[in-house]
Amino acid sequence: MLSLRQSLSLNNIKTVGGSWQPSDETGLEAWYKFQARITLNGFAVSSWADSSSNSFDMIQLNASEQPDYNSGNIDFRASNTQHLQSVSDITLSGAFTIGIKLEPHVSNVAVLSSNTEPNEFFKITSDTNLRFKTDNNEVDLAIDSGTFVADLDLVITRNSSNLITLYVNGVAQADTETLAGTADINAIGVRRIDNNPYDGTISEIQIYDTESTALTANVNAYLAGL
């Protein structure tokens, strides 16, 4: 049984993605790793520490807003506004790559955002639509088929020309958009202030301040192997 405030460091449970690891990338900004660096308060998550070298640790001191830990997955309940938040911002002013393994239970939920700055978020707005909003501008990315309310690997990229591409389970979606601006991220599961709380599980998040074909392929393969 997991003891009170037990810290999990289960890096050796599973090797995925071949020999490649997110930490191989110089552009790694933050890495919330599956089953790793999680601190528990009983069966709830009080901290998901950053596995990069940048210390963007996501924490929650309010016990009622701490998500549950469930076999490696972090389970957020919207009814309790459960979320995790860093004391400092991850800022993405240029190209980026974001990989997320998640299973939303409903739509109209914030996945990654700033809980301190307005209009900075990645939000599943409907069963078929993901919205990226930054600097008070936004784009909507529609999936080719199926629904966001499912067990998914999502990769979102922005290249040097500000082209936004969404990958779902390793497949690039047809709907691409263009949006410049500096994306600010300091929260998992809500947007400012505690709005659109996420409902569902999140298992892994990787954030890079770079984009390339090789990186996108590696992130997709890594998520698929979890």
Q: For the segment 4-38, what is each residue's pLDDT rounded down to a tens digit?
A: 445 544 433 344 546 999 999 999 999 999 999 99
Average pLDDT, the chain: 93
Chain centroid offset of residue 66 CA: 17
How far is 110 from 83, CA to CA, in rounded Å? Answer: 10
163 against 3, higher pLDDT: 163
SS3 103: strand
- Omega of the bond prior to 193 within 30 degrees of 0, cis? yes
Percent of the chain past pLDDT 90, that is, above it, reads: 91
CA angle 164, 100, 158 (to 5 degrees): 15
pLDDT of residue 18: 60
Whole-Å CA distances, 152 to 138, 187, 195, 223? 23, 20, 23, 9
DSSP code of residue 67: P
Instruction: Kindly compute the dihedral angle of the four CA atoms of residues 15, 20, 21, 26, in this order, to the nearest 10 degrees.
Output: 170
Residue 223: DSSP 8-state? H
For 143, the 3-state DSSP assignment is coil
Contacts of 211 (CB under 8 A, 6+ apart): 95, 96, 97, 157, 158, 159, 160
42-89, pLDDT tens digit by residue?
999 999 999 999 999 999 999 999 999 998 899 999 999 999 999 999
Q: Return the pLDDT at 4.
A: 40
b/e burial code for range 109-140 (CB count within 10 A of at least 16 → b) = bbbbbbbebebbbbbbbeebbbebbbeeebbe
**Between residues 18 and 109, the one the model is more confident about:** 109
pTM above 0.75, yes or no: yes
Q: Is the pLDDT of residue 103 over 80?
A: yes
Calculate what percentage of the chain has a pLDDT beyond 70.
92
Q: Among residues 125, 124, 151, 130, which one has the least CA distance to residue 142?
A: 130
Q: Provide φ and ψ at 35, rounded to 5°.
A: 65, 20
CA dihedral for 146, 148, 153, 156, sign (positive or negative): positive
